């Protein structure tokens, strides 16, 4: 399997499926609609919707019920990046090789753009629930999406992350692991679990996919820490060294580059081992998990 080619093909497919869910750029509020479109289609790996669809297919899912959830999780992920880049947060001017939303549209509009993307993600899934009010799978999937994005998920991790900036001495490994599990791993857990739920997987299988997502999310964030030290703006598509400038403790701070690399590999292999406990054809997901070990951006 040529995993790079597979990822590229799937990313193109996801782009096609995302487009119809985005609002039309018209009306007096069209500036924020334009900014939403700019933010979502500024590039990116489409990892979360890709994981969601692959999980759905792993358990035999074949319908279109997955697409609103794929669109929603990408909107939520994008909103988090828009806000993360703000001057009050990481103050980054480049994301995915392009100017960040606040650099193009201004800080106030970037805040509104993030708000709009989060809200529109929920509008998108709510509309799907209204079309199928009798389906408990969709309801459960919506609950997972909301909780993983909220105060007990991504936002909760972001809160602790922000409070830990410039307080390196107060951040221990336990707190750092908490930040990573929530800020980064939560949406990856949601992606894999929602795909399983919508496909009709058993409760155990859905939990296993969530657990695999935890390991994969931690590996993904540690690799991000490594790239922040070792990569370049041209390759990474965003400024490097921002963690150091913001005096943030990272996995590399505690463990060093070499141990961090070993732990990325270990966590990814653990994710694969959990994945293999589920039935179905996991060839693509397994290759995707392992591919993330060596990603350069």
* Three-state helix/strand/coil letters over 165-222: CCCHHHCCHHHHHHHHHHHHHHHHHHHHHHHHHHHCCCHHHHHHHHHHHHHHHHHHHH
| Domain total in the chain | 1
- Phi and psi dihedrals of 9, rounded to 5? -65, -40
Range of the domain at 49: 3-294
> Which stretches of the chain drop beneath a pLDDT of 50?
235
**pLDDT value for 160:** 92
Number of H helices, E strands in the chain: 15, 2
**pLDDT value for 44:** 87
**pLDDT value for 236:** 53
**pLDDT value for 164:** 83
- CATH for 225: 1.10.600.10
Q: Are 117 and 83 in contact (CB under 8 A)?
A: no
Q: pTM for this one?
A: 0.92
Residue (of 201, 62, 80, 68) closest to 142 by Cα position: 68
Burial class (CB in 10 A: 0-12, 13-18, 19+), 72: buried
Strand boundaries in the chain, DSSP class E: 94-95, 98-99
**pLDDT value for 121:** 98
């Amino acid at each position: 399997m040529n995993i790079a080619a597979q990822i590229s093909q799937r990313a193109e497919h996801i782009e096609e499926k995302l487009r119809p869910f985005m609002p039309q750029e018209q009306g007096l509020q069209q500036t924020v609609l334009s900014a939403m479109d700019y933010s979502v289609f500024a590039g990116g790996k489409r990892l979360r919707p890709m994981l969601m669809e692959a999980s759905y297919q792993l358990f035999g899912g074949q319908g279109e019920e997955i697409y609103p959830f794929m669109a929603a999780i990408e909107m939520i992920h994008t909103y988090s990046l828009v806000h993360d880049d703000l001057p009050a947060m990481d103050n980054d001017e480049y994301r995915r090789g392009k100017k960040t939303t606040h650099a193009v549209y201004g800080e106030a509009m970037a805040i509104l753009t993030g708000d709009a993307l989060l809200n529109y993600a929920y509008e998108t899934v709510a509309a799907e629930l209204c079309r199928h009010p009798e389906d408990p799978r969709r309801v459960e999937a919506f609950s997972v999406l909301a909780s993983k994005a909220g105060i007990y998920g991504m936002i909760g991790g972001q809160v602790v992350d922000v409070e830990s900036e410039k307080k390196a001495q107060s951040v221990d490994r336990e707190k750092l692991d908490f930040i990573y599990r929530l800020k980064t791993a939560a949406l990856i857990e949601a992606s894999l679990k929602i795909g399983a739920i919508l496909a009709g997987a058993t409760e155990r299988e859905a939990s296993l996919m969530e657990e695999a997502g935890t390991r994969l999310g931690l590996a993904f964030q540690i690799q991000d820490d490594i790239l922040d030290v070792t990569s370049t703006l041209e390759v990474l598509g965003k400024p490097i060294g921002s963690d150091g400038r913001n005096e943030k403790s990272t996995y590399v701070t505690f463990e060093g580059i070499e141990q961090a690399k070993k732990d990325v590999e270990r966590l990814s292999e653990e994710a694969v081992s959990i994945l293999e406990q589920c039935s179905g054809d996991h060839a693509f997901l397994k290759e995707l998990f392992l591919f993330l070990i060596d990603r350069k951006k």
